[in-house]
Amino acid sequence: MTNAEPPLDGAALLAELAEDRPPPAGPWSQGGAAVVAGLIGVAGLIASARLGLGQLTAPGPGLWPFVISVVITTLAVVLALTGRHGVDTEKFSRSSVTVAIAVATLVLLALALPVIGFEIPSLLLTFVWLRFLGKESWRSSIVISLGTVVAFYLLFVLVLKIPVPRLI
Amino acid sequence: MDFLNPVLDGFGVVAQPDNLLYCLAGVVIGMLIGVLPGLGPAATIAILLPITYGVEPVSAIIMLAGIFYGAQYGGTITSVLLRLPGEASSVVTVFDGFALAKQGKAGTALGIAAIGSFIGGTVSIIGLTLLAPLVASVALDFGPPEYAALALFGVLLVATVGNGGRLKSVIAACLGLLLATVGRDTFTGADRFTFANLDLADGIDFVPIAMGLFGLGEILYNLEERQHKRQEPAKISTVWPSRQDLRQSRGAFGRGSVIGFVLGVLPGGGATLSSLVAYAVEKRRAKDPERFGRGAIEGVAAPETANNAAATSSFIPLLTLGIPANATMALMFGALLIQGIPPGPQLVSDHPDLFWGVVNSMYLGNILLLIMSIPMVGVFVKILRIRPAILAPITVLITLLGVYTVANRVFDVFLVIVFGVLGYLMKKFGFEPGPLVLAFVLGSVMEIAVRQSLLIFGGDVTGFFTRPISGTVLAVLIVVLALPLVRQLRKSRQKSPQDKELV
C-alpha cells in the first residue's frame, strides 16, 4: 500500500499527457494563425461584396458571407492583438516529418488508384506506415500489410461487391 | 395512452434481426475505439459514414448511436488500467480509477463504472422518451427567426464551451459557416465561390469534410504522439463490486445521472463537461474530500454515470430541434441528411419508426455494453496490447477507399486528403475542427432562416429580439458569452490566490 504517494490531480495528469506532444510554439505561430485567419476574412469580404450584398429588405447572395467575413476579420485582429502569448499552438518537430511522409503516401495512393487498382498501392502504403512510420519489425510489417490487403479484398470485392478499381 | 403506441412500435423496429445486428455492431465498435487510445467516437463515425449509404436509415443511425455511447463505456478501461484516458470524457476517471487499480481494486473500479454507465444511460433514455416528444411539439410552431436564434446559439455555445481557445473556436466556426455558402445560392440562384468548378457547383459535400477533418486529421495528428512505454495493464480480480462499494456509490449514480442528463441537453455540454462537473460535485459533497485522487469509488462512479447520461441526452436537441449539441451530433445530423431525413421537430411525427427505433435501441445497447463490460471485460483488456502504429494504416485505408466508394470519384479522395491536412494544421495551430464541422452542418439552415426572417421583418434586425422565443434565446446567449468576461474582470480585480483547483 502506498499511502504516502500524493493524490493524482488534474494539473499533474494533464501535464503528463501533454508531455507526449511537441512543446508549444511561440508568438510567431500565434501571429501566423491570426494572419491566415485575417486573409481568409478579407478574401471573403472582397468576394462576397462582388456577389452583391442587396439590402436588408432584399438580401443579395453576398450578404450572409459578407457578415461572416466581417466577423472572421474582426476576430483575427483581436487574435493578433491578444493571442500572442497563447500556448495552444504546437512546434513543428522532427516527428512532423513523419506526417509529411504520411501525406505523400496518401497522395501517391490517390494518384495510383485509378491506374493500377487498389491492391498494390494499399499494400505499399500499409507496409511503409508500419515499417518506417510505425517502426514495426520487418516480419510483422510484411505479415500485417499482406493480411490487411487480403482482408480488404475479401470484404470489398467478394462480400460487399463494391466497385473499387482493381488490378485483376 | 395514445402516445405510448409509437414507443411500443419502436421496440418492434429494434427487434428486427437486422437492427439487432447493427446495434450489436455499433456498441462493439464503440467499445473497441473507446478502449483503443487515439481515435475518438467522432473520428470513427466520420470514417464509417460511407457505409451508411447502403444501409436502411434506422439501422444506420442505430449503429452510429451505438458507437457514440459505447465509446463512453470503453474509455473507462484504459483510464483505470493504464491511467491513459481512452476518451476525453474519461479523463477524470483516471484520478481515482487508477489509484484503485494500484490498490488491486481495478475490477471494482471497472464494475462500478459499468454499472454507473448503465444507470446513467438508462435514466437518460427514459428522460429522452418523456422529454423529446414534448420539445418537438413545442418546436413545431417555431418560425425562421427562432431557428436562426437557436442555430446561432448552438454554434456559438459549442465554440465557446468546448476545449481549445474560445476566440480560435469561434473563428473555426465562422470558417465552417463560410464553407457552407460555397455552391448555388438557394434564393437567387447565383453561384458563390465555385471558381467556375463544376464539382463545387452543388456545394462541398459533408462526407469528405467530416472524414478529412475528423478522421484523417486525427490520424495524422496522432502520428506525432510520442510512443508510450507500454505498461502492463493492472491485474483484474473480480469485477463484481461489493455491496459496500455499491452503497457508497449510490448517491454518485443518482447525481451523476441528473448532471449528465441536464448538461448533455445543452449545446456544448456533452460527455466531457458533465464528467468534470459530476466529479467536482462529489468531491465537494464528500465529508472527507482528501480521499479523492487516492481511490474514492465515488470518483469513478460519478463521472462515468454522467458521461453516459450526457451522451444519450445530447440526442434530444438533434432529434427534436435539428440542432446538434456537439461535434458527434453534427455527424449524426450529416448521416441523417445522407439518408434524406432532415432532423427537426417533424422527425417524431413523420418518422416515428426511426425516432423510436433509435431511442429504444439504446436500452438494448446499454444492456449489451453492460454484458461486455462486466463478464467479458477480459476480452477488451487483451485488445489493449494492440499498438496504435498497427491501427493507423488500416484506418487510413478504410477512410480513403471508403470515401471513394461513395461516388466512385478520385476527386473525393483528394478532398479528404486536403481536409485531413487542414485538420492536422488546425490542431497544430490551436484551432478545434469540431466547431467548424458543426457550423458547416448548420450553415445553410442558419442562412436560410436568417434571410427568411429578414423578409418577414421587412429588413428590421430588431425583430429577432422582440419575438418572445428568439429574443429569450438570444438574451441567454448574450449572458452566457458575457459571463466569463465578467468573471475575468472580477478575478483580475481580486487576484485571489486560491483558484488553482482544476477539476
Cα-based distances in Å from B170 to A34, B354, B483: 13, 33, 16
Cβ under 8 Å to A: B residues 367-396: 387, 389-390, 392-394, 396
Q: Is residue B48 part of a domain?
A: yes
Q: pLDDT grade, residue B497 (50/70/90)?
A: very low
Is the CB of A65 less than 8 angstroms away from the CB of B178? yes
Is the CB of A134 less than 8 angstroms away from the CB of B185? no
pTM, rounded to two decimals: 0.88
ipTM over 0.95 threshold: no
Answer whether B304's CB lies under 8 Å from B275's CB.
yes
**Distance, in angstroms, between A82 CA and closest chain B CA?**
10
Strands of B188-233 (E only): list them.
191-192
Answer whether B41's CB lies under 8 Å from B30's CB.
yes
Q: Is residue B459 part of a domain?
A: yes
CB pairs under 8 A between A and B: 204
- Burial class of residue B200 (count of CB atoms within 10 Å of its CB; 0-12, 13-18, 19+): middle
Nearest CA in chain A to B179: A65
The answer to whether residue B437 scores a pLDDT higher than 70 is yes
**Distance, in angstroms, between A12 CA and closest chain B CA?**
10
Q: pLDDT tens-digit profile of A81-117? A: 887 777 788 888 888 899 999 999 999 999 999 999 8
Nearest CA in chain A to B227: A20
The answer to whether residue B161 scores a pLDDT higher than 90 is no
Nearest CA in chain A to B51: A160
Rounded Cα distance, B52 and B337, in Å: 11
Q: pLDDT grade, residue B503 (50/70/90)?
A: very low
Q: pLDDT tens-digit profile of A4-44? A: 455 556 666 667 666 778 888 878 888 889 999 999 999 99
Is the CB of B226 less than 8 angstroms away from the CB of A69? no
pLDDT confidence of residue B193:
87
State the residue range of the domain holding B463.
4-492
Is the CB of A65 less than 8 angstroms away from the CB of B193? yes
Is B142 touching A (CB cutoff 8 A)? no
Q: Is residue B125 part of a domain?
A: yes
**Distance, in angstroms, between A121 CA and closest chain B CA?**
10
Cβ-based contacts of A29 with chain B (< 8 Å): 429
Task: Count CA atoms closer than 13 A to A42's CA, side-chain side.
Answer: 8
**Distance, in angstroms, between B228 CA and closest chain A CA?**
8
DSSP annotation of B374: T
Answer whether B157's CB lies under 8 Å from B326's CB.
no
Q: pLDDT tens-digit profile of B301-311? A: 999 999 999 99
The answer to whether residue B343 scores a pLDDT higher than 80 is yes
Mutate to test the interface with B, among A90, A106, A123, A149 (most CBs of B within 10 A): A106
Is B485 touching A (CB cutoff 8 A)? no
Rounded Cα distance, A3 and A11, in Å: 20
CB nearest A33 (choices: B190, B429, B502)? B429
Q: Is residue B503 part of a domain?
A: no
Is the CB of A88 less than 8 angstroms away from the CB of B294? no
Q: What is the mean pLDDT of chain B?
A: 88
Q: Is residue B87 part of a domain?
A: yes
Q: pLDDT grade, residue B231 (50/70/90)?
A: low
Q: pLDDT grade, residue B500 (50/70/90)?
A: very low
pLDDT confidence of residue A161:
77
DSSP annotation of A59: B
**Distance, in angstroms, between B474 CA and closest chain A CA?**
17
Cβ-based contacts of A163 with chain B (< 8 Å): 405, 408
Percent of chain B with pLDDT over 70: 95
Q: Is residue B500 part of a domain?
A: no
Cβ under 8 Å to A: B residues 255-284: none
CB nearest A102 (choices: B174, B220, B503)? B220
Q: Is residue B498 part of a domain?
A: no
The answer to whether residue B121 scores a pLDDT higher than 90 is yes
Q: pLDDT grade, residue B498 (50/70/90)?
A: very low
Mutate to test the interface with B, among A19, A30, A36, A68 (most CBs of B within 10 A): A68
Q: Is residue B501 part of a domain?
A: no
Is the CB of A61 less than 8 angstroms away from the CB of B175? no
Q: Which amino acid is at B353?
A: D
Cβ-based contacts of A31 with chain B (< 8 Å): none
Mutate to test the interface with A, among B53, B98, B100, B171 (most CBs of A within 10 A): B171
Q: Which residue has the higher pLDDT, B289 or A7?
A: B289
Q: Which amino acid is at B414?
A: F
Is the CB of A8 less than 8 angstroms away from the CB of B461? no
Rounded Cα distance, B102 and B97, in Å: 9
Provide the domain count of chain B: 1
Q: pLDDT grade, residue B78 (50/70/90)?
A: confident
DSSP A15-41: HHHHTTSPPPP-HHHHHHHHHHHHHHH
Rounded Cα distance, B302 and B503, in Å: 13
